[in-house]
Amino acid sequence: MNLPVPRTVAVDVAGGFLRDRDGREIPLRPQAFDLLKYFLNSPGRVVSKDELMKAVWPDVFVTDDSLVQCVRDVRRALNDEGQSVL
């Protein structure tokens, strides 16, 4: 089974967006972008679900489905359907 190769992206943390290698913006919802930033700031570290929920949705109650959807969105933006990056 051939899985898609994750795309090379540039992350503009200040601007809040991703760009592919051709400079095109890759759409990502604000919460999904916050999740990606959190992962980028935690390299090589296992991050708990609770820690992610507190980081992305501070002082707001959300269900696990919100986190699952954000992870899915980040994987899609990175072309990581095979889950080799995230």
Q: Does 61 score more than 70 pLDDT?
A: yes
Q: What is the pLDDT of residue 80?
A: 84
In contact, 28 and 77? CB cutoff 8 Å = yes
Q: How far apart are CA 52 and CA 28, in angstroms?
A: 17
- Map out the domains of the chain with their CATH numbers: 9-77 (1.10.10.10)
Mean pLDDT is lowest, of 13-22, 48-57, 75-84, for 75-84
Strands 17-20 and 9-12: antiparallel
pLDDT interval class at 45 (50, 70, 90)? very high
Evaluate if residue 65 carries a pLDDT over 80: yes
> Mean of the pLDDT values across residues 37-43?
93
Mean pLDDT (the chain) is 87
